[in-house]
Amino acid sequence: MDIPPSLNVFLHVFAGVFGVCVGSFLNVCIYRLPKEDMSIWKPKRSLCFSCRETIGWYDNIPVISYLILRGRCRHCGEKFSPRYAMVEFLTGVFFVLIYHRFGLSLAMPIYLALGAALIAASFIDIDHFIIPDEITLPGIGIGLAVGVLVPLIFWKQETGFIPASVASLTPVLTLSRVIPLLMVFRIASSADSMPKRIQAQPASFISFARSSVMVSTRE
């Protein structure tokens, strides 16, 4: 897909801005998901961990607010971890790189979603040695769905139709590769005596990673 240079620059910038905003949301997930008494929806507003004052929207602008306030709470002056800005910046850079590599393609949003999930899961794992089900279980379903749909979409783009044999075999081949891996990860996670320690999501994306090579190398 040919994109005018000026529009391409804008889309790179937009990908970065959108990425840091997603990174801000990932910070919420990283902090709240491991806590039994919190969720990503409650409380609705961010609070200072020290003075418990609500953080205004103008102090919650990704990266920029952290730099302006020098990483401190406006109300009490308590320092915030620089990791909040780092996660936002890292996610923004990742989104720019994914757009630069895949452009406006079918693969781009899938890789963005996978990358965002892995960023959140990685930092939660560093802090708590767990990977919450809220991340892995949806990832398993999405990975399986993508592993089935992407080869079919690619085949139709190349040939104009989907033979019945391909349509019937694709789900079987995908599940035959993924299910054994999911079973291994699930057994390992239950043996770990930590119910939220599930690492099946990367396995469910193996089928997509293999099938998407055909798509990404021809774009």
Model confidence at 181, in pLDDT bands (50, 70, 90)? low
Q: Where are the domains of the chain?
A: 1-128, 130-219
pTM passes above 0.85: no
8 Å CB contact between 135 and 42: no
* Mean pLDDT on 104-124: 89
Does the pLDDT of residue 149 top 80, yes or no? Answer: no
Model confidence at 114, in pLDDT bands (50, 70, 90)? confident
SS3 per residue for 59-97: HCCCCHHHHHCCCECCCCCCECCCHHHHHHHHHHHHHHH
**pLDDT in the model for residue 218:** 45
* Distance between CA atoms of residues 73 and 56, nearest Å: 11
Does the pLDDT of residue 193 top 70, yes or no? Answer: no
Does the pLDDT of residue 196 top 50, yes or no? Answer: no
